[in-house]
Amino acid sequence: MWVWVTLFAAIVQTLRFMLQKMLAGAQLSVGGATFSRFLFGFPIAALVAIGFLHETGTAWPHLSAPFWGFVIAGGACQVAATFLTVALFSMRNFAVGVAFTKTETVQVALFSAVILGEWVGPLGWVGILIGLIGVLLLTKQPGAVKLNARAAIYGVVAGGLFGLSSIFYRGATLELAPLEFFARAIVALACATFAQTIGMGLYLRLREAGELSRVLRAWRRTILVGITGVLGSAGWFTAFSLQNAAFVRALGQVEIVFTLLASVLVFRETLHRREGLGIALVVASLIVIVLAGSR
Whether the Cβ atoms of residue 270 and residue 27 lie closer than 8 Å to each other: no
Q: Decide if pLDDT at 77 tops 90.
A: yes
Per DSSP, the residues of 235-291 read HHHHHHHHS-HHHHHHHTTHHHHHHHHHHHHTT-PPPPHHHHHHHHHHHHHHHHHHH
Q: Decide if pLDDT at 291 tops 90.
A: no
pLDDT at 155: 83
Residues 63 and 189: their CA atoms lie apart, in Å, by 13
The answer to which of 86-95, 195-204, 258-267, 269-278 has the lowest mean pLDDT is 86-95
pLDDT at 164: 94
Q: How many CB atoms lie within 10 A of CB 87?
A: 16
pLDDT at 267: 59
* Average confidence (pLDDT) over 101-122: 88
The answer to which of 111-125, 144-158, 204-218 has the lowest mean pLDDT is 144-158
Q: Decide if pLDDT at 101 tops 90.
A: no
Q: Decide if pLDDT at 92 tops 60.
A: no
Long-range contacts of the stretch 209-214 (C-beta < 8 A, 24+): 211/28, 211/29, 211/31, 211/32, 211/35, 212/32, 212/35, 214/26, 214/27, 214/28, 214/32
State pTM to two decimals.
0.84
* Average confidence (pLDDT) over 157-175: 93
pLDDT at 30: 73
Handedness of CA 64, 46, 104, 119 (dihedral sign): positive
pLDDT at 139: 66
Residues 148 and 97: their CA atoms lie apart, in Å, by 8
Residues 30 and 27: their CA atoms lie apart, in Å, by 10
Q: Where are the domains of the chain?
A: 2-293
- Smallest CA-to-CA distance from 13 within 182, 155, 162, 188 is with 162
pLDDT at 94: 56
Q: Decide if pLDDT at 68 tops 60.
A: yes
Q: How many CB atoms lie within 10 A of CB 127?
A: 27
CA distances from 87 to 157, 201, 260, 292 (A): 12, 20, 22, 35
C-alpha angle 46-47-51 in degrees, rounded to nearest 5: 120
- Smallest CA-to-CA distance from 172 within 45, 52, 43, 69 is with 69
Q: Decide if pLDDT at 13 tops 90.
A: no
Residues 106 and 244: their CA atoms lie apart, in Å, by 13
The answer to which of 40-49, 112-121, 268-277 has the lowest mean pLDDT is 268-277
252 compared with 97, residue with greater pLDDT: 252
* pLDDT band at 174; cut points 50, 70, 90: very high
* Average confidence (pLDDT) over 107-112: 90
pLDDT at 67: 97
Residues 6+ apart with CB under 8 A from 231: 12
pLDDT at 46: 95
Residues 240 and 134: their CA atoms lie apart, in Å, by 23
* pLDDT band at 70; cut points 50, 70, 90: very high
pLDDT at 183: 95
* pLDDT band at 86; cut points 50, 70, 90: confident
pLDDT at 43: 92
- Smallest CA-to-CA distance from 278 within 141, 131, 105 is with 131
Each residue's pLDDT tens digit, 225-262: 778 888 989 999 999 999 999 899 888 888 777 777 76
How many Å separate Cα 244 from the centre of its chain?
Answer: 15
Whether the Cβ atoms of residue 45 and residue 235 lie closer than 8 Å to each other: no
Q: Decide if pLDDT at 144 tops 70.
A: no
